[in-house]
Amino acid sequence: FSISYDDDAFKAISVIKEVINKNGLILKDPAPFVSEEAQSSSSVDIVVRAWCSTGNYWDVYYALIKDVHQAFNDNNITIPYPQLDVHTK
């Protein structure tokens, strides 16, 4: 997941962990992993590794995308878009 540089990465990580904890298809062991992964040109990128049974993979995958997006909206965390500033003389 990517967030704006103007947002708090620690808060975003906490929000993602809350979403994971609410999903009953995600296994507790091994424990889910959520961490800041990179500072890209337009965003701070957060990696998520959450395990589930093979048969639930796609359900979990799409649920996380939808639920994290909604949780980011609810918590005023911005999903950025690529941006380029051009200066002319």
pLDDT tens for 32-63 read 999 999 999 889 999 999 999 999 999 999 99
| CA 50/CA 61 separation, integer angstroms | 9
Q: Please, which residues have CB within 8 angstroms of residue 8's CB and are 6 or more apart in sequence?
A: 77
22 touches 50 (CB < 8 A): no
Q: What is the mean pLDDT of residues 27-35?
A: 96
Q: What is the mean pLDDT of residues 55-73?
A: 97
Measured N-to-C along each axis, helices 9-22 and 57-74 cross at an angle, to the nearest 10 degrees, of 130
Q: Which residues pair with 49 in a beta bridge?
A: 33
Q: Please, which residues have CB within 8 angstroms of residue 11's CB and are 6 or more apart in sequence?
A: 75, 77
